[in-house]
Amino acid sequence: MSRALLAALPLLWLSACVTVSDHPVDDKAAAKANVDLGVAYLKQGNLQIAKDKLERAQKEDPKSPEVYWAMASLYETMDQPKDAARNYEKALDLSPGNSQIENTYAVFLCRQGDVDRALPLFEKVIADRLYPTPYAAAANAGMCLRDDKRNADARRYFERAIALSPPNFVDAVVGLADLQLEQGDAAGAATTVKNYMAGGSKSAEVLVVGVRAATAQHDCGTAQIYARLVRRDFPNSPQAAALPQQLGACNGSSN
């Protein structure tokens, strides 16, 4: 059954007391379907329908951590941080040590300015050997600390993220190189970009940081090489559109 059809069905169809073709409705399956629908509507910005679907899922399976996790995201989007925090905590009560939930809760705490509560959660996620993307949690921690003006700590987390990540993960590379540029270390930023490029990956975001690093060093030849790569491989990207501004004094130079 398609999700669109499921969304159109009356509420009573999902009750555990109703049967269709002699098969009882599975409340857990119905709740999962409604969570999926709620998240889809949330991504579309249709908050009222998202809320209706998630509240229905909560009634169908009140012990599902995924329901409360999705509700937390909804309330965060609605700018209701107390309700978001309550739902994150309920999700973790129902699924202790769930690294996916811990990571998103830590990001939420960072947005609320509660960095010291977020960092232990990030550390737990990074240490979880079963979690598939510990490097993303490390990069999130770096961004969190940078927003809090704790740049030395942010740099360490970005470096950890790069050490843990596959070659095509750009967030930590961009985060570290941008921080290095902010601190006046253009040479360090250039090295960060070169190390990423040496892995064979391509990224408009990284290339533009490379443009900025080269321009800061008055290395217009390298800046133009990176700019040409952006225009060739990412011609319709926001980074390509921003190149004239990023090149600065190197505009029109081929040296």
Q: Is residue 11 over pLDDT 70? A: no
Hey, where are the domains in the chain?
A: 1-96, 107-165, 167-255
Neighbours of 124 (CB within 10 A): 16
Q: Decide whether 1-96 matches 167-255 in CATH topology.
A: yes
| CATH superfamily ID and name for 1-96 | Tetratricopeptide repeat domain (1.25.40.10)
pTM of the entire structure? 0.83
What are the tens digits of pLDDT across the range 52-92? 999 999 999 999 999 999 999 999 999 999 999 999 999 99
State the Cα–Cα distance between residues 87 and 74, nearest whole angstrom.
10
Distance CA 16, CA 113 (A): 43
- For 68-72, 135-139, 166-170, 250-254, which range has the lowest pLDDT when averaged over its residues? 250-254
Give the right CATH number for 107-165 from 3.30.70, 1.25.40, 3.30.1490, 1.10.20: 1.25.40
DSSP3 helix / strand / coil % (the chain, rounded to 5): 75, 0, 25
The CATH architecture that domain 167-255 belongs to is: Alpha Horseshoe (1.25)
Instruction: State the chain's mean pLDDT as an integer.
Output: 89
**DSSP H or E run through 49:** helix 47-60
Q: What is the pLDDT of residue 253?
A: 65
The answer, yes or no, to whether residue 22 has pLDDT greater than 60, is no
- Alpha-carbon span 138 to 238, nearest angstrom: 26
SS3 category, 24: strand
For the chain, what percent of residues have pLDDT higher than 70?
Answer: 89
How much of the chain, in percent, has pLDDT values that exceed 90? 84
More confident residue, 13 or 28: 28
